[in-house]
Structure 1
Amino acid sequence: MCDEARCYKEEQMALCVRYTKDLNVHKGFLGFVDCSVKQDAEALSQHIYDYFKAYNLSNKVQIIGQSYDGAIVMAGKFNGVQAKIQNKYPCAVYTHCMAHRINLVVVDMCKFVKETRCIFNTLESIYNNFSYPTENQQLIVIQKKLGLKFKTIGRIIDTRWNCRYKNCDAVLNCYQAIIHVLQEENDDDNDKDVNEALGILNNLQKASFIVNLFVIRPVLSIIIS
């Protein structure tokens, strides 16, 4: 099992294995592979072979399965990584990573269902509003005054599986502090973003928004667990 991600201007591929020992199934993380130079199927599959060779695994393992995301470079039937791995290990059946599949379903649901779309559009607006240092500092101060556990509002990104749950949880836990800061912004005549803050405040105080937020949070918590 492997996946790649960009980290500090480098493209890193994480490599993991599932294996059996004494009829028990184990899962282990092997390491990161720097694949910054090239990320096509040929290069990525070669990185996997080279890693096995470097750690004397080439002649000791028999790959019978492989799991990646659904990107064409990984999942391509004829020229993807899975096809190239299968050329050397014919028994290596490809499975689209179930965690990726679940995330795709969640992302589509959040965009397709009107109620969830309204929730996450509002959460995105909250993130944008408190991404400014002044507003963010005010939120931190108010949380401390109210004795609330410090929570940050993150950006919603499709590939970050738990960001939706974390933002729902953060807003519910810091709801009072967020409302307080937004009300102060609305009362500040010099705040040029007062219209945006007013719109967020109106959405947050709608009964439908609060009820839907309480409904969606436990659903998302089940999915990411």
Structure 2
Amino acid sequence: MDLLSFLAKYDDTLKNHFIDSTTFLSTSNRIQNNLIKCTADVEMDYIKSEIKKAPFVSIALDETTDVANLSEVSIVVRYVLDGIPQERFLKFLNVTSERTADALFKIVCDNISSLEYGSKLVVQSYDGAAVMASHLGGLQAKVKEKFKHANFVYCIAHRLNLVLSRNMDNIKDCKVFFLTLSGLASFFSKPSKRTRALDIHVQRRFPKVAPTRWNYNGRLVQIVFQYRNSLIHFF
């Protein structure tokens, strides 16, 4: 609605539509969701047509936790058209209730089936979690078993995070520093009494810490530094 209101300031047709129309404003949540779905369907058809022309395709999955504390998997495909690499984000899928290798394998197979590129799949890329990367029963092993040419490539961003983490672990002062900060984040994550005390006295919560995501540690350092005086007073 905010976007439509903004566009109406610069589009007389849209502006007059909102003023004069009495039967179809197209602003209800149901209609807007239908419009979004139509747009997504057109985009997906376009991606599918590109994939049909591409000689090879790779797929990348990454799991993250959103602001509502739900676990989601992002799906991205990459391919080459006329010598130019193309990368297309497809969707987010909620996997909070089921994050096993079998469940993720079904997601990959459904995606490959819907876009019809099973015979072209040459690369699969995920993070380093055992459910993803294990060569025994992990996702990459299951995909490799069904799609013989789908070589596994370790997630580059994840590898960089691990390199940074392992280097810091070998420097005693750095290791103690980050363990202390992550301890603060864990201590104030629960119970609710601690969280409420932090809200009252500091008015800022600590972000969750993930050992394989270096940017989470960076955010934590910035927040502690920014609110250091309030935290000292609170303690």
The structural deviation recorded for 1:160 is 3.9
| Distance in 2 (alpha carbons) for counterparts of 1:10 and 1:167 | 20
CA contact (8 A) 1:15 1:31 kept: yes
What corresponds to 1:58 in structure 2? Answer: 116
Alignment match of 1:108 (pick from 151, 166, 180):
166
TM-score between the two structures when normalised by the length of structure 1: 0.60
Work out whether 1:153 is the aligned partner of 2:198: no
Alignment match of 2:199 (pick from 136, 140, 156):
136
CA contact (8 A) 2:195 2:205 kept: no
| Distance in 2 (alpha carbons) for counterparts of 1:75 and 1:163 | 22
5 Å-filtered alignment, 1:16-55, equals 16-35=76-95, 39-53=99-113, 55=114
For structure 1, the residue ranges without an aligned partner over 5 or more in a row are: 141-150, 183-196, 198-225
The structural deviation recorded for 1:176 is 3.4
The structural deviation recorded for 1:94 is 0.8
Please state whether the residue corresponding to 1:64 is helix, strand or coil. strand
- Of the structure 1 ranges 123-132 and 27-36, higher mean CA displacement relative to structure 2 is found in 123-132
Deviations 1:105-124, CA, capped at 9 Å, x for gaps: 33333444211122223324
Q: 1:19 to 1:166 in 2, by over 3 A?
A: same
The structural deviation recorded for 1:66 is 0.9
Please state whether the residue corresponding to 1:153 is helix, strand or coil. coil
5 Å-filtered alignment, 1:143-182, equals 152-179=205-232, 181-182=233-234
The structural deviation recorded for 1:129 is 6.2
The structural deviation recorded for 1:96 is 1.2
| Distance in 1 (alpha carbons) for counterparts of 2:227 and 2:123 | 44
What corresponds to 1:96 in structure 2? Answer: 154
For structure 2, the residue ranges without an aligned partner over 5 or more in a row are: 1-59
The structural deviation recorded for 1:165 is 0.7
Please state whether the residue corresponding to 1:162 is helix, strand or coil. helix
Q: 1:10 to 1:61 in 2, by over 3 A?
A: farther
| Distance in 2 (alpha carbons) for counterparts of 1:29 and 1:3 | 12
The structural deviation recorded for 1:161 is 3.3
Q: How many residues align?
A: 170
Q: 1:17 to 1:133 in 2, by over 3 A?
A: same
CA contact (8 A) 1:35 1:47 kept: no
| Distance in 2 (alpha carbons) for counterparts of 1:6 and 1:44 | 16
| Distance in 1 (alpha carbons) for counterparts of 2:178 and 2:105 | 37
What corresponds to 2:56 in structure 1? Answer: none
* CA RMSD in angstroms, aligned pairs only: 3.2
What corresponds to 1:77 in structure 2? Answer: 135
